[in-house]
Amino acid sequence: MIRVCIAGVTGWIGKPLAEAIQSSDDLKLVAAVARRAVGESIGDVTISGSIDEALMIASDVFVDYTSAEAVKSNVLAAVHARRHVVVGSSGLSDADYSDIDLAARERDVGVIAVGNFAISAALLQRFAVEAAKHMPSWEIIDYAHDSKVDAPSGTARELAWRMQEAGEPQRKVAIEDTVGDRGARGARISTSQVHSLRLPGQTIGVEVLLGREDERLTIRYEGGPGAEPYLQGTLLAIRRVAEFRGVVRGLDRLL
């Protein structure tokens, strides 16, 4: 039985994830964190108001579905407490992952970090990396609702990180040679230019546009408002995280 602690347990993913864990045969919810629901119960688990309080309860895996502002400190606290960690929150940079990887290896625990736990998003990453081996230029568009404070999204950051496998995209005009406002060319994330759109009516999505002379290829992922696509991937990560040491990024690493 794998004992699980969820931070952000009353959230969009956290609540249905807790329900899925409670209905499983091999997972057990033993602790939960939600600052706006302190003292309330999920089954026989009383919700804690802080990460430190929740980590006082014995658990095997800590799952973070909180916020971009809190995720790094939460994950490091769990790692220092020698918990394996599954990261579902966005907002971590490549440098943040390096810090977490070092701490996790020192504590001999695994961390699985996934920008998007949906199988379709994992497939987009795989297809995009393969396409980039044949299409020498690409840029990424990141879509999200207008209340999302972090940019780019974890989905876009992870895609840009994976696209490094294909090398540096070709550009006839270097970004620093742009005439006008360089910001119009997006932000450099890993080796890719990423453009983040925040609009009402959007949920989450990412698009990679690839080009070579006289041809173009577009690969796009879009997620809806429901949590179901992300649950099975998160449960898989919870079940597999103890197999690893240090940070593993990307759901397709587990498939």
Question: Tens of pLDDT along 162-186?
Answer: 999 899 999 999 999 999 999 999 9
More confidently predicted of 220 and 255: 220
C-beta of residue 225 within 8 angstroms of C-beta of residue 203: yes
The pLDDT, as a whole number, for residue 139 is 98
Looking at every residue in the chain, the average pLDDT score rounds to: 95
The pLDDT, as a whole number, for residue 253 is 84
- Structural domain total, the chain: 2
Q: Do residue 135 and residue 123 come from a single domain?
A: yes
Domain containing 185 — which CATH number? Answer: 3.30.360.10
Q: Do residue 179 and residue 100 come from a single domain?
A: no
The pLDDT, as a whole number, for residue 225 is 86
Phi-psi region of 246 (alpha: psi -120 to 50; beta: other; left: phi over 0): left
Mean pLDDT of 236-246: 98
- Return d(Cα 115, Cα 28) in angstroms, integer: 24
202-232 pLDDT, tens digit per residue, is 999 999 999 999 999 999 999 988 899 999 9
Domain that holds residue 101: 2-113+226-253
Closest CA to 29 of 19, 38, 37: 19
Q: Do residue 109 and residue 9 come from a single domain?
A: yes
Domain containing 23 — which CATH number? Answer: 3.40.50.720
pLDDT > 80? residue 24: yes
Q: Do residue 126 and residue 171 come from a single domain?
A: yes
Q: Do residue 101 and residue 190 come from a single domain?
A: no
pLDDT > 80? residue 30: yes
Q: Do residue 210 and residue 143 come from a single domain?
A: yes
pLDDT > 90? residue 235: yes
Strands of 192-198's sheet, edge to edge? 187-189, 192-198, 137-144, 204-212, 215-223
Q: Do residue 93 and residue 178 come from a single domain?
A: no
105-123 pLDDT, tens digit per residue, is 999 999 999 999 999 999 9
- Return d(Cα 138, Cα 128) in angstroms, integer: 10
Crossing angle, helix 14-22 and helix 228-240, to 10 degrees? Answer: 60
Q: Do residue 123 and residue 206 come from a single domain?
A: yes
The pLDDT, as a whole number, for residue 252 is 83
Structure confidence at residue 255 as a pLDDT band (50, 70, 90)? confident
Alpha-helix runs per DSSP H in 56-204: 71-80, 94-107, 119-132, 154-163
76-105 pLDDT, tens digit per residue, is 999 999 999 999 999 999 999 999 999 999
Q: Do residue 131 and residue 76 come from a single domain?
A: no
Q: Do residue 191 and residue 231 come from a single domain?
A: no
pTM above 0.85, yes or no: yes
User: Residue 96: what are its φ and ψ, rounded to 5°?
Assistant: -60, -45
Q: Do residue 128 and residue 100 come from a single domain?
A: no
